[in-house]
């Protein structure tokens, strides 16, 4: 692994003039440093140096060696910045980085400018890689929206520069700053803005891969996923780390530890009581003796109600035997003990046995010592007398004579028939009396209706006939409308059945277009086919089309004398087309040469020659 370098000048804008081992993924963070050093009091125009650190997480970090412009030169806050990139897992000490920074600082201060050969040789050195899955830098990344964090180093300060770099650069409290600035205490420089860092610097904590002998696998819990923990890791001091132990069929075990001086890998070990198996309620199949599945059963596991879909069972409890108890209405409570969890645990419930106890009195003269005790067992909760021919009296059963009981019910049935007959006759008589009498205000209050005269009977009969006629006319109108809407071929016999359409076939067959136009004034005007027929007839009259041309062999009619059905769509098309005399002969030839199956009106009518159309 090698260090990377980008040198940028800020004078009348920013420009890059030298780079070694540059990669775009980290180079894009080597931005203009003027926005940072502008708040460093006494820095501009001093020719002094300051260190800027940008921590990029998995990309490592950037060390910016910022050299201020000499006094009296350039513009405000102009500078030269050398950005040194340190990869995340690079094994490099703080002292080694200090040597690199010192060399770069000398090159930036040289009167004749930098010596590319010296710099390229410096950055050609290979450094070893840390043998870890994650380094401490992976857990730290500066906050772009934070403020500047700064501290001093050197004589009179708490730390030397090398103590702040290398393995000490990953401090958990650096996450809140947008960058870190290290200022030489002897320079007399300080920041007007930002926040001075007062926390102690601590070394990162190394955590070895935890091992479990019971088949659990460790994972590192992150924000979006769980990462397999299969190699040692480094974490910043005081970092809280979540480790998840996973095993198929077991509940996840989460261990949260803090990486401090009290940390030990023993804190990640799994205790026996933490190993819990997954037990799903759907794995318990409850049926009756006929293997019909019973839903909504009440299930208890070790006297705990199985109320949710999943329950967790410790290995200790399973080893001692898991007691399952099932209750279901109408069935006997059943218990079962298991020492192994599977996805198909069968529990069969027996029908619940209900029992009733009766006492049968002893018969005198039979030398019986006591009454007889009768116990009746049933599969359902029956509240009546289960023994046929007996009844209960205070716990004693008494035999009833079946013949007497049958006679009693027979006589009761006969009496009921007579009562119902009398009630029916009375109701009929009352209805007739009410029909022949009426109530009046006066005396007597109830009088007998007069018999209707012959005149009244005639008037009533006429009124009924008129009502029936009106009703019949409405019904016929509905029938004929439905026929015209649903039929594509209109038959003469069917149309003749209705008053509204009795002449319609003749009007169409003889091309009486004037009468067809008048259909828009009838009750048929709202039917779509009638509208199309009216429009086509009007169009033919306006265009002076003679639809009889081409029909001379049929005496100027649309159909032959034996064809009693008209295809409406074909008819509308015919009367809208212009015909000339040259079509006469061609029409005849076509009729002769065209097969019978292709002559649509005729073929359609043949199907109905011997059958009257209608609804």
8 A C-beta contact, residue 93 and residue 168: no
Q: Is the pTM of this model over 0.85?
A: no
Distance CA(109)–CA(536), nearest Å, equals 103
- Quote the DSSP letter at residue 269: P
Per-residue pLDDT for 212 more than 90? no
pLDDT tens digits, 502-543: 899 998 999 999 988 898 888 888 899 898 999 999 998 998
Per-residue pLDDT for 348 more than 90? yes
Distance CA(489)–CA(569), nearest Å, equals 9
Comparing 469 with 488, which gets the higher pLDDT? 488
Per-residue pLDDT at 323? 95
Residue 395 burial (10 A CB sphere; 0-12, 13-18, 19+) = exposed
Per-residue pLDDT for 310 more than 80? yes
Distance CA(508)–CA(514), nearest Å, equals 10
CA atoms within 13 A on the CB side of 498: 27
The residue ranges of DSSP E strands in 47-119, in sequence order, are 49-55, 61-68, 79-86
CB 553: neighbour CB atoms within 10 A? 12
List 313's β-bridge partners, or say none: 277
Rounded alpha-carbon distances, angstroms, from residue 10 to 14, 62, 66, 108, 556: 4, 18, 11, 13, 105
Rounded alpha-carbon distances, angstroms, from residue 112 to 106, 107, 109, 116, 495: 11, 9, 9, 12, 117
**Residue 16 CA, distance from chain mean position:** 53
Mean pLDDT over each residue of the chain, to the nearest integer: 84
- What residues contact residue 389 under an 8 Å CB cut-off, 6+ apart? 399, 400, 402
The three-class DSSP label of residue 302 is: coil
pLDDT tens digits, 107-116: 988 878 889 9
8 A C-beta contact, residue 2 and residue 124: yes
Cα torsion 466, 471, 474, 479: sign: negative
Phi-psi region of 236 (alpha: psi -120 to 50; beta: other; left: phi over 0): beta
Distance CA(544)–CA(579), nearest Å, equals 11
Comparing 541 with 442, which gets the higher pLDDT? 541
The DSSP annotation for 280-327 comes to: EGGGEEEEETT--B--S-EEEETTEE--SSEEEEEHHHHHH-EEEEEE
8 A C-beta contact, residue 193 and residue 37: no
Using pLDDT thresholds of 50, 70 and 90, give the confidence band for residue 288.
very high
Per-residue pLDDT for 43 more than 80? yes
pLDDT tens digits, 403-430: 666 787 788 889 999 899 889 888 888 8
Cα torsion 603, 607, 612, 615: sign: negative
Using pLDDT thresholds of 50, 70 and 90, give the confidence band for residue 71.
low
Residues 14-22 have a mean pLDDT of: 91
List 65's β-bridge partners, or say none: 51, 82
Residues 137-148 have a mean pLDDT of: 93
In the chain, what percentage of residues exceed pLDDT 90?
Answer: 48
Cα torsion 67, 69, 70, 71: sign: negative
Rounded alpha-carbon distances, angstroms, from residue 170 to 136, 239, 261: 6, 11, 16
**Residue 105 CA, distance from chain mean position:** 62
């Amino acid at each position: 692994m090698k260090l990377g370098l980008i040198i940028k000048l800020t004078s009348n804008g920013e420009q890059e003039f030298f780079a070694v081992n540059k990669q775009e993924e980290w180079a894009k963070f080597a931005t203009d440093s003027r926005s940072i050093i502008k708040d460093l009091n006494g820095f501009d125009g001093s020719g002094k140096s300051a260190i800027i650190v940008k921590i990029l997480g998995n990309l490592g970090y950037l060390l910016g060696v910022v050299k201020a412009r000499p006094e009296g030169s350039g513009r405000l806050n102009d500078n030269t910045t050398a950005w040194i990139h340190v990869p995340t897992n690079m094994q490099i000490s703080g002292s080694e980085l200090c040597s690199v920074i010192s060399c770069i600082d000398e090159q930036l201060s040289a009167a004749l400018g930098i010596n590319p050969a010296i710099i390229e040789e410096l950055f050609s050195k290979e450094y070893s890689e840390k043998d870890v899955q994650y380094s401490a830098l992976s857990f730290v990344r500066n906050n772009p929206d934070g403020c500047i964090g700064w501290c001093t180093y050197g004589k009179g300060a708490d730390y030397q520069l090398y103590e702040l770099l290398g393995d000490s650069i990953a401090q958990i409290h650096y996450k809140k700053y947008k960058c870190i600035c290290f200022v030489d205490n002897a320079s007399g420089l300080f920041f007007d803005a930002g926040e001075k860092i007062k926390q102690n610097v601590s070394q990162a904590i190394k955590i070895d891969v935890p091992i479990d002998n019971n088949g659990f696998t460790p994972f590192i819990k992150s924000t979006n996923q769980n990462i397999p923990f299969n190699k040692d890791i480094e974490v910043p001091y005081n970092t809280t780390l979540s480790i998840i132990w996973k095993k198929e069929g077991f509940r996840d075990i989460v261990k949260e530890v803090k990486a401090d001086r009290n940390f030990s890998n023993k804190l990640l070990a799994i205790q026996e009581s933490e190993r819990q198996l997954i037990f799903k309620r759907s794995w318990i199949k409850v049926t009756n003796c006929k293997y019909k599945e019973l839903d909504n059963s009440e299930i208890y596991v070790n006297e705990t109600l199985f109320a949710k879909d999943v329950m967790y069972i410790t290995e200790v409890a399973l080893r001692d035997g898991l007691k399952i108890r099932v209750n279901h209405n109408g069935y006997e409570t059943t218990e079962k003990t298991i020492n192994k969890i599977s996805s198909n645990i069968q529990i069969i419930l027996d029908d619940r046995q209900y029992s009733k106890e009766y006492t049968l009195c002893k018969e005198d003269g039979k030398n019986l010592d006591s009454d007889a005790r009768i116990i009746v067992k049933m599969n359902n909760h029956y509240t009546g007398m289960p023994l046929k021919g007996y009844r209960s009296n205070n716990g004693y059963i008494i035999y009833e004579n079946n013949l007497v009981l049958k006679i009693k019910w027979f006589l009761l049935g006969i009496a009921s028939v007579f009562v119902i007959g009398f009630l029916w006759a009375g109701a009929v008589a009352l209805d007739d009396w009410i029909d022949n009498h009426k109530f009046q205000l006066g005396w007597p209050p109830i009088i007998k209706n007069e018999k209707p005269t012959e005149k009244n009977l005639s008037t009533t009969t006429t009124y009924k006939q008129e009502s029936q006629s009106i009703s019949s006319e409405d019904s016929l109108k509905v029938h004929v409308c439905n026929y015209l809407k649903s039929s594509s071929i209109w038959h003469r016999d069917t149309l003749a059945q209705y008053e509204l359409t009795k002449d319609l076939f003749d009007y169409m067959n003889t091309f009486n277009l004037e009468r067809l136009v008048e259909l828009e004034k009838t009750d048929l005007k709202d039917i779509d086919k009638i509208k199309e027929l009216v429009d086509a007839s009007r169009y033919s009259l306006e265009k002076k089309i003679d639809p009889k041309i081409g029909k001379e062999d049929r005496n100027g009619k649309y159909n032959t004398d034996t064809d009693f059905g008209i295809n409406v769509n074909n008819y509308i098309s015919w009367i809208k087309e212009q015909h000339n005399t040259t079509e006469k002969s061609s029409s005849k030839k076509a009729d002769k040469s065209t097969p019978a199956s292709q002559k649509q009106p005729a073929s359609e009518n043949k199907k109905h020659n011997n059958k009257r159309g209608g609804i």
